[in-house]
Amino acid sequence: MSRNDVIFRRFEQKDADDVWLLHRRASEAVGVRAPEGGWEDDLNNIDEVYIASGGDFVVAHIGSKLTAMGGLQPVDDEVAELKRMRVDPAFQRRGLGRRILSELESRAVALGFKWIKLDTTTIQVGAQRLYETAGYIPRGEGVLHGYAVIFYEKCFADQGDDET
pLDDT tens digit sequence for 7-36: 999 999 999 999 999 998 888 777 776 555
pLDDT computed for residue 39 by the predictor: 65
| Residue 8 resides in a domain | yes
pLDDT confidence band for 42 (50 / 70 / 90): confident
CA 160 vs. chain centroid, Å, equals 28
| Residue 154 resides in a domain | no
Of 94, 122, 118, 101, nearest to 32 by C-alpha is 122
pLDDT tens digit sequence for 62-94: 988 999 999 999 999 999 999 999 999 999 888
**Which pTM does this prediction carry?**
0.88
| Residue 123 resides in a domain | no
| Residue 148 resides in a domain | no
* Backbone phi, psi, residue 70, to 5°: -175, 155
pLDDT computed for residue 161 by the predictor: 45
Containing structural domain, residue 82: 3-116
Kindly report each contact of residues 119-122 with a partner whose C-beta sits within 8 Å and lies 24 or more positions away, as own/partner: 119/144, 119/149, 119/150, 119/151, 119/152, 120/149, 120/150, 120/152, 121/30, 121/32, 121/147, 121/148, 121/149, 121/150, 122/147, 122/148, 122/149, 122/150
User: What CATH number is given to the structural domain containing 33?
Assistant: 3.40.630.30
| Residue 30 resides in a domain | yes
| Residue 95 resides in a domain | yes
| Residue 132 resides in a domain | no
In this structure, are residues 104 and 72 in contact, taking their beta carbons and an 8 Å threshold?
Answer: yes
pLDDT tens digit sequence for 102-135: 999 999 999 999 999 999 999 888 899 999 999 9
Number of compact structural domains in the chain: 1
